[in-house]
Every structure is written in structure tokens, then in C-alpha cells.
Structure 1
Amino acid sequence: MLKVHIDFFAYQDQTILEDISFTVAKGEHLALMGESGSGKSTLLKVIYGLLHLENGTISWGKNQNLGPNYNLVPGESYMKYLSQDFDLMPFTSVAENIGQHLSVFEQETHEQRIQELLELIELEAYAETKVKNLSGGQQQRVALARVLAQEPEVLLLDEPFGHIDNFKRNTLRRNLFPYLKKKGITVLTASHDPNDVLPYAEQTLVLEQGKVVAHQKTKKLYKSPPNYYTASLFGEVNKIPIKLLKAYSEIDKSVLIYPHELQVSDTTGLKVEIKNTYFKGNSYLNEAEADDETVLYFNTQKRLKSGDTVFLNVSLETINKRLSIEQGANT
């Protein structure tokens, strides 16, 4: 089990991380989410041992990560870190870049292992291509294969698909994360993309200004976000006064409602006027405004026109669920 406890971590007299504690079981996948500058990358660097931690401890089983003040070469032998800087050998081939990180004691299996990783990252046809001739996305895939070469026990991924085109990103995710699960590798993925998180991470930890603001099983966190910031990391979200949705309500609070949770009616509900409509492929995202100038976003299958008037409803079950989360957070 990976155990992380950080009282605080400061850099040049500025506190970057504060009061962070969590555990990740062997073979489990934890996602780190947060806006840019929230501390995701710094947290991964501290865990890996690139940055010295004075006020806290990082351990894997019985082994404690000692950091750069104790290790001449940063990082622990059981752990690999894929940063946003690829650190590849540009004048050697893709296969050579991967093979360099294989054990010298297992020469007879090198070709088989290189082929397995080339298939995983879908670069079999580029095995003999020099890395300097690859695109940024292809180089990122080679960097991924390199950190997987010796099958680490713990893998730290910092925006692992940031340079990869969407059509390749989807297949790579579906190749990579089940592969890591099958191998029993513990994974921490820092990402701002919910598509990296929702289908694959068992739990998600949300950082804001270096502090943990949410930590839950991923599905539960999505369905029951504790605050607007957390919900917004998964996509568009509305913060709507309950009295606007249910005029008879005596509760003076707002609830978080995703666009797909608002249902359209022609006759009853919250009256809104369409301002803009955005085509999303299999649906439309509509921007509308209520009489009190509250702006709302909701989905429809058919395109609505600017100036159209419709009525929006949300189930009492959804409202009560979101209210219970807020009450639980305040107790």
C-alpha cells in the first residue's frame, strides 16, 4: 500500500502543498484532479522523490521514500514517473529508447518485451524510427513505454495523454489502463480531463490551492460532488437556487445540477429563454437565462433556437441528494 502524509511542502518560502493524507492499495488507480496550479504535479514529484519532503512521510509497504537528499539518483526502484518532459534519446530509434530501460539480466526476453510495449502504444511501424522524427504525441507514447519497461509496482502519470490526438488518446486509454490493472500496478494519474478519470480510476482526490477539497470513490464523487469546484472539473455544471426550481420551497440554498439532469417541458417548470445552442455530436448543450438572469446549461437531443422559451425541471430525488451532501459536509 502507498501511504502519503504531507503536513506541508514549501518551495522558496511559498507553501505549495498542505495537510494531505491518503492511501492507495496495491493495484488501485487514484486520479488527482484540480485546476492548473493546484499542486497535482508537485505532489507527484514529492511522492517520486524529485523534491525533498521535510514535513511528512511517503512509504510503499515497509519502504520509506527518502527523496533527493538521500538518493543520488531520484526515485525509488519500485516506482516510475512519467513527467510532462519526455526525456528521450532523440537520435536513437523507438525500440532502442524502450530497450535501454530493460534489465541487462534479461537479454533473452528484450525483443519480446519491446514488441509487447510497441503494441501497447500502437507504434509497431515506428520501431526503427529515430525519436527526433516523431510527433509530440508519438514521443509521449514512447516515454510511456519506457517507464513501463521494467513493470514498476507504482506508476505516477502526469497528464499522460496531453500531447496525443483525440482519436489516438481514446484507444491508448483503453489499452493502457486495463493493462496496468491486469499487471497489478498501482497508478496515480494527474489529469484535468474527466475522460482519463471517470472510466478508469477507482478513487479521485481533488486539489485546490495545494489542499484536498474532496476525496472519494470516483463514481460517488461525480454523482455527489461536495462543491461547485469539484463538480466543474467533470464538465459543465449549474448552481441553481432551490427556490428557482421549486417556488414553494422554504430552503434558501442552491444545489449543483449537471446539464443532463435538467429535463425540458413545454408547459411547466422553470421558464428560461434560449440564448445559445452548441452542437456536441450526440446532443446539444443549451445556454439559457431565467427571469432573474440566472444562466443555466442543459442538454437536448433536438436543436433549440435562440429566443425560444422552454421550461426546465429537476427531480426532487436529485435535489434532496445534493442537499444531503451539503448537510453531511457541514456536520
Structure 2
Amino acid sequence: MLQVKGLTFSYLKTAVIQNISFTLKAGDHLSVIGESGSGKSTLLKLIYGEYDLDEGEIFWKDQQILGPKYNLVIGYDFMKYVAQEFDLMPFVTVSENIGKHLSNFYPNEKQDRIDELIEVVELQDFANTKVKLLSGGQKQRVALARALAKQPEIILLDEPFSHIDNFKKQSLRRSLFRYLKAKNISCIVATHDKSDVLGFADRIIVLNDTKIIANEDPQTLYKNPRRPLIASFFDEFNYIEPLGLVYAHQLIIVSHSGQNAVVKSSYFNGRCFLIEATYKDQTILLEHNEDLEAGTIFHFKIEPLN
């Protein structure tokens, strides 16, 4: 189990994280979300031992995680950290990069391990390609595979799919997180992308103004976002009195109701149209399966989340 207790860290006398505490069970996946500059990446680096704490403690099982004041070499064998910048060897192949830290005393086992991870990150066609010839997204996948090579007990991922094309991202997410669960590897993901979170996280932490403002399972947080910042991470939303925060897809156009609005604009987003409208002198957003012309008056109701 990972235990983070009363974590406080400042950079150049500016508080980045203040009094943060949480736990993570072995094999569980935790997502950390928040605005840019909220401290997501810093939190991962503190857990990895890259920085010294101002206050607090971090333990993995019985091992205290300490910073560079106490360790000549940063990091621990049981933990891996994949940053947004990749530290790969450009002039050797994908396979050689992944197997860099695997023992050569057991060549067959080493190759089996490399082949397994190449399949996890879906790079079978590039196993013998030099890394310098790969795209940014392919390099990110190599970095993920190399971090898993010695099967850590916990892995820290900072925006792990940010360089990967959308058409490949979905299947890669499923493959990677399925593998981590199967191997009982704990995972912390810092991300801006709800698709990294909703289907895969056991819990979500929201960072804002140096503190944790929410620590819930994905369904609970999605259905009860409590703050506009949290709702905005998941979808387009409105604040409508007296109901409070309401997602755009909860507003349904009906033939008659006590609520009507006037269309301002309409935006096609693939599966539907996002309608921007005026309701009681405020702008609201809703989803509809048809385009609506500006000036159209419509009635709507608000459906509860299932």
C-alpha cells in the first residue's frame, strides 16, 4: 500500500502542494486531475523521490520514500516513473530499449518479456526499428514498455497518452490498464483527459489551489461533481438554479415545459449538435440530435443522471 501523509512542498517559496494525504492499495489505479499548474506532475515527482519534502511522509509498504538528500540515485527498484519527456536511446531498436535493464543471463526469458511488452504497447511492427525513426507517440509507447520491463510494484504515469494519435489511443489505454490490473501493479496517472480516468481508475483525486478538493470513485465524482472545475473535466455543463451543476446532455428538448430558451449557436461535434442558448439571461448548453437555427425558441426539461 502507498501511504501519503501530510505532504507539503514549495518551490522558490511558492506553495505547490499543502497537507495532502491519501492511500493507494496494491493493484489499484488512482487518477490525479486538475488544471495546469495545480501540482499533478509535482505530486508524482515527490512520490518518486525526485524532490525533498517540506513536510509529511511517503511510504510504500514499510519503505519510506526519501528525496535526493538521502539517496545518491533517485528512485526505487519497485517503482517506475514515466515522465512527459522520454529518456530513450535513439540509436538502438525498440526491442533493445525495452530490454535495456533486463538480465542477459537468461536470453530466452528476456526476449519473451520484450515480446510481451511490445504487444502490450502495440508496437509489433516496429520491434527492430531504431527509436530515432519513430514518431513522438511511438516513443511514448516505448517509454511505457521499458518502465514495465522489470515489473514494478507501482508505476507513476504523467500524461501517458498525450503524444499518441487518437485512433491508437483508445486500444492502447485498454491494453495497458488491462495489463496493469492483471499483474496487480498499482498505478497513479496524472492527466487532463477524462478518457484516461472514467473507465480505468478506482479513485480520482482532484487538485486545486495546492490542496485535494475531492477524492472519490469515478462514478460518484461524475454524478456529483460539486464544483464547476470538476464538472468541466468530464463534460460541457451548466449552472441552473435551483438544481446547481447540470451536464449539457441532461437538458432534453421537449414539446412543452415550464422552461424555454432561445438558440444562439449550434455546433456539430460528431455524435450530436451542441446547442448554445439563452435561458433567463444566462447562456446554457445542451445536446440535440438535430441542428437548430439561431433564434429558435424551444422548451426543455432536465433529466437526472442514471
Q: TM-score range by the shorter chain?
A: over 0.9
Distance 1:104 1:273 in 2: 70
**1:287-298 aligned within 5 A:** 287-290=276-279, 292-298=280-286
Secondary structure in 2 aligned to 1:180?
helix
Give yes or no for contact 2:19–2:56 (8 Å, CA) kept in 1: no
Residue 267 of structure 1 and its aligned partner are, at CA, apart by: 2.2
2:250 corresponds to which residue?
261
**1:72-221 aligned within 5 A:** 72-104=72-104, 106-221=106-221
Residue 305 of structure 1 and its aligned partner are, at CA, apart by: 1.9
Instruction: Tell me whether 126-135 or 302-311 shows the greater mean CA deviation.
Output: 302-311
Residue 303 of structure 1 and its aligned partner are, at CA, apart by: 2.0
Deviations 1:107-159 (A, max 9, x none): 33011111111111111111111111111011000001010111110010000
1:52 corresponds to which residue?
52
**Number of residue equivalences:** 306
Give yes or no for contact 1:2–1:61 (8 Å, CA) kept in 2: yes
Change in Cα spacing, 1:230 to 1:56, as seen in structure 2 (3 Å) is same
Secondary structure in 2 aligned to 1:90?
coil
1:308 corresponds to which residue?
296
Residue 301 of structure 1 and its aligned partner are, at CA, apart by: 1.6
Residue 105 of structure 1 and its aligned partner are, at CA, apart by: 5.1
Give yes or no for contact 1:284–1:301 (8 Å, CA) kept in 2: yes
1:277 corresponds to which residue?
266
For residue 308 of structure 1, what is the amino acid of its counterpart? Answer: T
For residue 60 of structure 2, what is the amino acid of its counterpart? Answer: W
Give yes or no for contact 1:47–1:58 (8 Å, CA) kept in 2: yes
Distance 2:133 2:95 in 1: 14
Residue 68 of structure 1 and its aligned partner are, at CA, apart by: 1.4
Instruction: Tell me whether 298-307 or 98-107 shows the greater mean CA deviation.
Output: 98-107
TM-score, normalised to structure 1, is 0.89
For residue 151 of structure 1, what is the amino acid of its counterpart? Answer: Q
Give yes or no for contact 1:214–1:226 (8 Å, CA) kept in 2: no
Give yes or no for contact 1:103–1:150 (8 Å, CA) kept in 2: no
Deviations 1:217-237 (A, max 9, x none): 111000111211111111211
Gaps of at least 5 residues in structure 1 are 243-253, 322-331
Give yes or no for contact 2:235–2:248 (8 Å, CA) kept in 1: no
Distance 2:294 2:140 in 1: 42
Residue 183 of structure 1 and its aligned partner are, at CA, apart by: 0.6
Give yes or no for contact 1:204–1:217 (8 Å, CA) kept in 2: yes
More helix by share: 1
Change in Cα spacing, 1:104 to 1:54, as seen in structure 2 (3 Å) is farther
Residue 7 of structure 1 and its aligned partner are, at CA, apart by: 3.9
- Deviating beyond 4 angstroms after TM superposition, the runs of 4 or more aligned structure 1 residues are none
Distance 2:101 2:198 in 1: 31
Distance 2:210 2:14 in 1: 11
Secondary structure in 1 aligned to 2:235?
coil
Deviations 1:79-127 (A, max 9, x none): 0000001111111111110010224554330111111111111111111
Distance 1:257 1:150 in 2: 45
Instruction: Tell me whether 113-122 or 100-109 shows the greater mean CA deviation.
Output: 100-109
Residue 166 of structure 1 and its aligned partner are, at CA, apart by: 0.2
For residue 215 of structure 2, what is the amino acid of its counterpart? Answer: H
For residue 265 of structure 1, what is the amino acid of its counterpart? Answer: V
Give yes or no for contact 1:37–1:209 (8 Å, CA) kept in 2: no
Q: Cα RMSD over matched residues? A: 1.5
1:36 corresponds to which residue?
36
Identity of aligned residues (%): 47
Secondary structure in 1 aligned to 2:44?
helix
Distance 1:132 1:15 in 2: 39
For residue 163 of structure 1, what is the amino acid of its counterpart? Answer: H
1:22 aligns with 2:22: yes
